[in-house]
Structures are given as C-alpha cells and as structure tokens.
Structure 1
Amino acid sequence: MRHHKHLSRLSRRSRLTSTAVAAATVAAALPLALAPGAYADAPGEPATPDLTVSELSGNQLRPGEVRSDSVTLTNNGTVATDGVTFRLRLTRGLAFTAPVDGCTYSTVGDKVRQAVCELDVGIAPGESYTVPVKFRVLKKALMEVVEYGTSRTGEDPGEGYDQANRRLALDTASSADLVATGDEATGKPGARVIVTPSIRNDGPGWIQNNESDDHPALLVNIPKGTKAVEVPENCKPFGIDGPTGPSEPGHPKYVCQEDDYTLEVGEIEAFAIVLKIDKGRRTDTSGVVKATSNYDIDPVYDTNKANNKATLSIDVQ
C-alpha cells in the first residue's frame, strides 16, 4: 500500500515560483518490486529515472484572469531522480506572477518568457511529485502557448516535446482587429509613382498564429493601367489561393507580410510599391488592398470586417 504525505514546505532549491512550482506532494516509497507502468533497464545499460508529466487541463482563457493549475511528475524508471529541472515557457500574451527564489527568469526566442526552476527532490521509482503551474493572462492575449516540463531523467528538458516535456495551445475569449490603409498618388502617363499601403492591428489581442502558417497579411491589387516595377522583398506574387513565388515586379496582385508574421497591438506594417503609369493611360485608376491572411482567408479572430479593405488611388494628369 502506498502512503502519501504532504510536504509543508519546499527545500531551499525547490522553492519554485508561483508561476511554475510553489508546493508539492510526494508519494512514499514503494516496495522493491517495480511499480505499475515502470520498466526494467536493459541489461548492461545504466539504471535511470523515467519521468512523465501529466497534461494541463483545459485550453480556454480570458484576458485578465490568473490561471492556477498543477501537473504531476511520475517516475516510471528504476532509480530515483537526483533533483529535477522544471521549465515553464509562456508566449508574450501570458506573464509570470511574482518571482520566488529557486527559479531563473529570462526571455528566449520570439519574446517568450521562461522560468527554469531547480527542484532539490529525489523522486523514487513509482513516486509522484505535484507541481503547481500559475500565470497571468494579459489583456493582449489571443493565441497563446504554454510549454512545461522536464526531461525523462529530470535534467534540462532541451528542445522538442514528449511525455516529460509538453506543449499546450490556448485560446482566449478575445479578438484582434485588422485594418487596411490605402494610399493615393498623382502622375502623368509614363511616370513612376510610389504608393504605400499598410496593415494595422487595432487589438485588443496581439497576433501570432502558433498553430498554422495562415498569418496576417495585406493583399494588394495593382491598379489597372499601371505596372508594379519595384516591390518589397516581403511582397510576393499572389495566385489563385496563395503566394506563387519570390518577390518580383510585373504581377497584378501581391500578398505582403513581415518576416516574423507578427502584429503587436497598434503595430503598422507598410509596404512601398513603385508603380509605372501606362503611357496611354488617360483616366484615373484604382486598386483594392485587403487586410487578410497570406492565403486570403478571413481570420476568425478579426470580428470587425468593415475596415478590412481600402483603396490605392492613382490620379492620372
């Protein structure tokens, strides 16, 4: 029979931040026989721990709330852990609560917040250790990701995901408003003019699609009677349902987006395009620009479609 006891306080090294680890419960030692689910190491191989981490429950969040949950570390191996390194990563719409001794905080990758916490705990074969996980949901939260866990041996988890190092995509009850802005220019037949359409995020959520390559973009229709003779590198020709190749002049339609595929709240991405007015053009002309995705699929988070389109106007003199 297993006997559980509650640890009233953590050791100096295991006092984890309220964002990752702040209290724990540990199952008492089992008999010498392997616990259910454990395995024996292959002959000649060194005995090792084999940790698994349970999954966080639920994936729905509301901006402004504090998420309090926990995960359980279970040792299915044949020897106890010599401490555990537990790591928690949050995308930029989430944030840690007050820091606590025992964790090191940093920012990695694309502004991802990270806490690495050292647990001075030996989890024996068959035992479990419960780790609270806590973080704040910021006002700008929209499409977020939480990465949490350790390695199978309890050491640094490194990169990649398995049963010990997990990833959870989160949805929030929020939205983001994509806005297209056009431009106008004046020129004579045969002249070159510059137009600078743009896309803007009016929030309240920041935009980075972590689960798909369908990213925010500006679709630009070149006004009839003009030709795009210079286009930015991040404006690619658009075919029937997506980009068709690298940037080059001469196409009737382009899809433009920044390389990081990200739009913070209030951020504006503008794209300067040089147009040449046809020599035989005698009347004004225009083209439509649209805030959409790089596949021209209206994003579900953009609930205000009224400002998604604007006009490129060319006044031919």
Structure 2
Amino acid sequence: MIRAVGDPRVRGLAGSLVGLDLGGSGSRLAVLPTAGGPRRVLDGPRVEVHAGGSSAPQVIREMLSHAMTSWPEETSRLAGVGIGASGLASLVRDPHELAVQLSAELGTPTAIAIDAVTAHLGALGEAGGAVVALGTGAIAISHPGMAEAAGGDHAWRRVDGWGHLLGDRGGGAWLGRRGLEAAMRAYDGVDHGGHALLVAGRERFGAPESWPAQLYTRQDRAGVLAEFAAAVVGVAGRGDETACVLVRDAGREAAKSGLAALGEDRPANLVLTGGLVGAGPLLSDAFAEEVARQRGDVSIGEALGDPLEGSLSLARLRARDALGPQEGFIWS
C-alpha cells in the first residue's frame, strides 16, 4: 500500500517512521517519510532458530543498516521505530535490553514486540478485539482497545504461538507438517488417502527416505514446512479429500485460538490475518463456521492492514509515548 503525502501517522512528528516485520518465511522493512511521499519497502531474510536462540537481532540490525544505506535522506531523522518479530518472548535472551540497545544505536525511541502485537495493530488499529495471525506460525492475541487500556499492565492476552513443535495450530508450518505426515502414511501403506500429498512431497523434496535428513537438520525448518503448506492448499484446490480436511482443520484450529484469546471480557470482534489466509474459502469458511458454532455474538471483520502496517503503527505509538511496555508482549 502506497501512502499519499500527508500521511496522518507522520503528521506532527519530527522524523520518519520505520517498521519491521520479521518471521519464519521472510522479513520486511518499511520507511514512512515525514516529508510525505510513498513509503520505502525492503525485503529481507527469514528468521532462523539455532542453538543460541533466534536470529532476529541480527536480521533487525542488517535490515536497518541496509535501509539507512539505501535511503539516507528518509532515514536521517527518525521519530520512532517499531519492530514485530516471531519468537521474541521465548527465543531472544533479553528483549528489553535489545530494545534499549537499538534505541541507543538509532538515537530514536524504539519498541519491539511479538509479531502478534503488530498483527493486531495492523488488523484492528487501536480498536479492541482479537486477531488470529496465520503465517509460518500461528498466534491469537486480544486487546480491549487503546482508549480502554491506557496504562494497563495486562492489556494484551495471547493464545498459542508456541512454535511448530509444541503449537502454532493452524499455521503454515503446522499445515505443512500435517501434509507431510499424511504423505508418509501413504508411503508406508498405512493410509492411501495421502497419495496426492505424497506426489506433491516427492516434487518438493525428492525421495521420502531423504525427508528426515532434509528437515530435521534445518535451522529454518518451520519456514520450510510452511512452504509445503502451499502445496497442501494446492492439492486441496484440486478436490483431494485428505488435503481438504487438513485445510479445514487449520481454519477450525485458528477459530478456537481466536475465541480463547477473546474470552468474555473483550469487544466481540475477531479478525483472521496472515499469509495463510490466502488459502481461500476452504480455510476461512471453516474458521467462520467454528466461530458461529461457539459464539454467535462474535463479529468477524476484515483486516485493516497487515503486520508491516502494524509495525509502523507501533513506531508511531512509541514516538508519541502512547503505548507502554508489557512483559512478554512489548519492550521499549
């Protein structure tokens, strides 16, 4: 989305806004110039997980350096920086210290948040409700609304986001892994329903006997599994029953997480966002059906923007000191 001159998010600020959205399938950076004009966008590498934790701090610094080199005029004066990244709460040693370091290095107020926060800000703006973000992983998050939660220590509430081994139910890695499990069951002769997925798996990874060596040794395993989710969706699109069941299951799991995050004390608004939403009506219809089955009072809305838009909103809120930190969610 290209913003016109006079974007209200930079109006009255002393410099440009920078937002970063980091995930297992890739990263993006946007600069919103204070002087107006179109925003600048940069694509970057996926976040990897290794023995020392997440590569997010390195990716953040590399992308910021690249942006400042590419657009020195737009980044010469910054009003605020907002960063949303997966795995911050569990795979980065000290997110608060990272935020402090980045603020000092950049000379500008900086906030970092789990990617669910920026997904929420992108999808709902400052309104209350819950957002389910389906990307490489899956996480649901709710907030009562900025006006209602000013200064609240427990405003943000999350469900899932525990990674592809323990959770991320309904996300890309979850769907890709289940697709490969069905393919392996067909290969073993246990359940031939996964035959079409076995064919897709061979096309992507080669001989099934080689799949464990290809997947178990990868530091970016979640991203690789999420890439196969596209194949599962494609097989489902051709009417394969097993693949259709998996895609519908993803929608239902997303709905369950979203409703759990919403609870009974938040505005009854729910939004499904993230790259996997592109799977189409098979997933989104199952999501809506599960929501209606459990909570007929909940309204399902369209996302106002994506997580990158949310990271720019986080930068603006940080620049105006309008959004306080909350352990496990936002650090500044």
- Please, what TM-score do these two structures have when normalized by structure 2? 0.22
**Greater gyration radius:** 1
Q: Per residue, is there more helix in 1 or in 2?
A: 2
Q: Per residue, is there more strand in 1 or in 2?
A: 1
- Please, what TM-score do these two structures have when normalized by structure 1? 0.22
- Name which structure has the greater RCO, CA cutoff 8 Å, separation 6+: 2
